[in-house]
Structure 1
Amino acid sequence: MEYSSKVLDHHGIVAGVCREIELAETINRIVGVNEQQKVSTGDAVMAMVINALGFVSKPLYMFPDFMETKPVDRLFENGLAAEDFNDDTLGRALDKLYENNNTKIFMEVSMRTLSNMGVKRNFFHLDTTSIRVHGEYEHSDEDMVPIEIVKGHSKDGTFDLKQYLISLITVSESDLPVWIDSLSGNTSDKTHFREIIQHYSKALAEGDEVAYFVMDSAMYTHKNVRELSGMVKWLTRVPESIAMAKDLLIEIDEDSMTISEMDGYRLKSSLKTYDDVEQRWVVLFSKDAYDREMKTFKKNIEKESEKVEKQLWHFKNDEFKCEPDAVKALRQMEGKWKYHTVDEYKINKKKKTGKRGRPKKGSKAVKTIYLINATFKQDDEAMEASRLRKGKFILATNDVNLDQEVILREYKQQQSVERGFRFIKDPMFFTNSTFLKKPQRIVSLVMVMGLSLLVYAIAQRKLRNALVEMDETVPDQLGKPTKRPTMRWIFQKFENISLLNVNDGGKTSQQVLNIKPVHEKILALMGEEYEKIYFLRGGCGK
């Protein structure tokens, strides 16, 4: 009798979601199937998604080793084996995705899935993030290069490595991604946001539903406000650098605002016209944000006071040709201070002979110089204006009838796209740096990242909805019952589940080991097809 085992863990859940949304079938329908190719593009992509959600951070050249330890016959239904997933297979799949417009492929998968799930698509959250890369990425001018791998201002503050950007759109419900693409490393959000909405807003919207695009303050430029307002409804944060916004933040005090339905906020809305576009502006106040910002504010005042004191100490030794030059230089320096101003100054006029040391009696002066000695004080007016803006920010939309509570709620849901980026950058799923050597394959890998996020979010939504509908719970990390577990935690709960293969004189059988009641419960909640992958039958709570 011979025994062998494979690592099943949570991979059966991932495979189950891929089957449920018909991931491989949808991709194959778009890119086509080569009958001489044992592994279709769709199956290769499904394998990469399983790998991406497998708690490993291995580049694709390590992929065959990953598949070797998995029960491929349980995860795939078409007789594939681990050795079929080699480097060439995956490389061809990435190339095929790129050749067939990977972004549109992703949209086809996501739109079809969300429609089947009944997910509303009216508020879309759009943002970008940077991904660091290793390698030279050299190409000739004749190459059709999809993105430029360049050094750019990384959103994590670094500038030493080359990078590309990922652009992501999610819907509010369950952080589900609906669109993803890769961009050159020096792409500006200000122009990118406008271009994406111009090209894809109609495809993303659901029928005649009004589509709202939620973005950060980079969207709020003269050109974007004018051009996008004729196409879609938008919601964004107004930059404080705009004079009208700065004045409004000072003008609206906390006592004149109403308490929001969302804990910790007060709000007040008004109609404003900016760039000839009528808008609803909502001023928000958060006491927690005010307390945090005031601590920083006081520290900044102290730092500037020390800086100004040193500047004036050195400045008193600077020589000027005339009194107006000295005063002009002082005012220029004062103009760079935020919270301080010149209190008094005194001009000292001196004559110089051009020789070192004390001039001798009777020596003639060669030139006259002017020195200025100044003192400073806090600028109470500037400090008060700054204090009045603390804890406040302004949200704007071109839908003047949109309720202010909805405006706040949907802007806070911008965290859904940020959570998507954290997922993609999480070393438990993907490495934060990319090792592929072809820009074309990086573009396709970004699509695989998006599909992995989609599968993860669907699994999490499916389990949470089932827990609510069945009025059930599962233990969280502390062992307490919850109806909102993260799928990451659920995946970890499935560690050490193995598939045992037994060969008894030519008669083979399989058995899943280490399945516990909590696993049976989770799989029952996920559905019968998920139970089948783990050789289970029965309903919830078996």
Structure 2
Amino acid sequence: MHQIGSRDHRPELNQVILELICENQAGLPVYMQALSGNTNDQKAFAEVTRQHVQSLQAAQQSRYFVGDAALYTADSLSALHQQEQLFVTRVPMTLKDAKHAVSNLQTERLETLGDGYHGYWIEADYAGVPQRWLLVRSEQATKREQQTVTKNLLKTGTRELKQFQQLCKKRFACQQGAEQALAEFSRGLSVLRIEQGNTLAQPIYSGKGRPKKGQPRKESTTS
């Protein structure tokens, strides 16, 4: 009997993960383990740091343990700190402290790092481990983000303008209904803004075609 796994018949997903640690000079593997594609990177890193880093540290006399953002978890950092192993990694932006540090970036403290990069160091103690974070701003990335923001604003503004034009063509039975619809539309806008919005009453006459002089009105609508 074959038990269907969550990644069977899903070639776009990782079927197997190779956990690999290499030394930095020749790039030779010093630790390797094959894991299921369902393995959580963060949990796997924490397990490695608890069981193998101390042995690797003694054998290789490694000064720094370098990994990607999956290394940055409370369990992994605590294990590294307990083994007095220095580490270098990227702080994931899912952390509240990281979001706060980036949103409160102090431009006057930025120093040139070269190749369009600027940054400065701050002290941190996530998971009770003393560490230093390097906040970096890239001129190239800033330009790309500005282009993306401009494109999205233009796209959203064009869509909202078309929606407003459609609203202007709509007729309502009374002025109150028209004003309520305009207010609801205004609250849903993200780019455009309506100032001094107004409604226009339009009479409806009985019969078809152009109304004759003195022809009584049947009712009024507001648009």
- Structures share fold, TM-score greater than 0.5: yes
Cα distance in 1, alignment partners of residues 23 and 155 from structure 2: 43
Q: Which consecutive unaligned segments of at least 5 residues does structure 2 have?
A: 171-177, 193-223
Q: Which has the higher helix share?
A: 1
Q: Aligned partners of 2:82, 2:179: CA distance in 1, in Å? A: 58
> When the two structures are superposed, what TM-score results if normalisation uses the length of structure 1?
0.28
Per the TM alignment, residue 275 of structure 1 is displaced from its structure 2 partner at its CA by: 2.8
| Contact 1:269/1:281 (<8 A) preserved | yes
In 2, Cα distance between equivalents of 1:229 and 1:310: 58
User: What residue identity is the alignment partner of 2:38?
Assistant: N
Cα distance in 2 for partners of 1:167, 1:263 equals 32
> 2: distance between equivalents of 1:281 and 1:252?
12
Judged with a 3 Å threshold, the aligned counterparts in structure 2 of structure 1 residues 288 and 374 are, in CA distance, closer, same or farther, namely same
Does the Cα contact within 8 Å between 2:49 and 2:79 map onto a contact in 1? no
Residue of structure 1 equivalent to 2:147: 295
* Match in the other structure for 1:347: 180
Residue number among 129, 146, 158 corresponding to 2:12 in the alignment: 158
Segments of structure 1 that go 5 or more residues without pairing to the other structure are 1-136, 140-147, 318-344, 349-370, 380-542
The alignment status of 1:169 with 2:21, answered yes or no, reads yes
Asked whether 1:276 is paired with 2:128, we answer yes
SS at match of 1:347: helix
What letter is aligned with 2:30? V
- Render the CA deviation track for 1:343-363: whole Å, top value 9, x for unaligned: xx9536xxxxxxxxxxxxxxx
**What CA distance in whole angstroms lies between the structure 2 residues aligned with 1:239 and 1:138?**
38
> Is 1:244 matched up with 2:55?
no
Query: Which residue among 201, 225, 229 is the counterpart of 2:81?
Result: 229
1:254–1:266 contact (8 Å) kept in structure 2: no
Question: Does the aligned pair in 2 maintain the 1:266–1:284 contact within 8 Å?
Answer: yes
Residue deviations 1:376-430 (CA, integer Å, cap 9, x gap): 2439xxxxxxxxxxxxxxxxxxxxxxxxxxxxxxxxxxxxxxxxxxxxxxxxxxx
CA gap 1:185/1:208 in 2 versus in 1, 3 angstroms: closer
Q: CA deviation at 1:287?
A: 1.6
CA–CA distance in 1 between the matches of 2:49 and 2:132?
A: 21
Report if aligned partners of 2:93, 2:99 keep a CA contact under 8 Å in 1.
yes
Cα pair 1:149 1:184 within 8 Å, conserved = no
Task: Tell me what 2:110 maps to.
Answer: 257
Question: Partner amino acid for 2:82?
Answer: G
State the AA in 2 paired with 1:298.
T
Equivalences for residues 459-478 of structure 1 within 5 A: none
The answer for the alignment partner of 1:373 in structure 2 is 184
Q: Equivalents in 1 of 2:68, 2:40: separation in Å?
A: 13
RMSD: 3.8
Amino acid at match of 1:286: S
- Percent identity (aligned): 27
Deviation at 1:217, TM superposition (A): 1.8
- Structure 2 counterpart of 1:271, one-letter code: E
Number of corresponding residues: 178
Higher relative contact order (CA 8 A, sep 6+): 1
CA contact (8 A) 2:124 2:130 kept: yes
Distance in 1 between residues matched to 2:60 and 2:29, nearest whole Å:
21
Query: Is 1:214 aligned to residue 66 of structure 2?
Result: yes
- CA 1:303–1:192 in 2, change beyond 3 Å: closer, same or farther? farther
CA contact (8 A) 1:165 1:185 kept: yes
Q: What letter corresponds to residue 150 of structure 2 in structure 1?
A: K
Q: Give the SS at the match of 2:30.
A: strand
SS in 2 for 1:373: helix
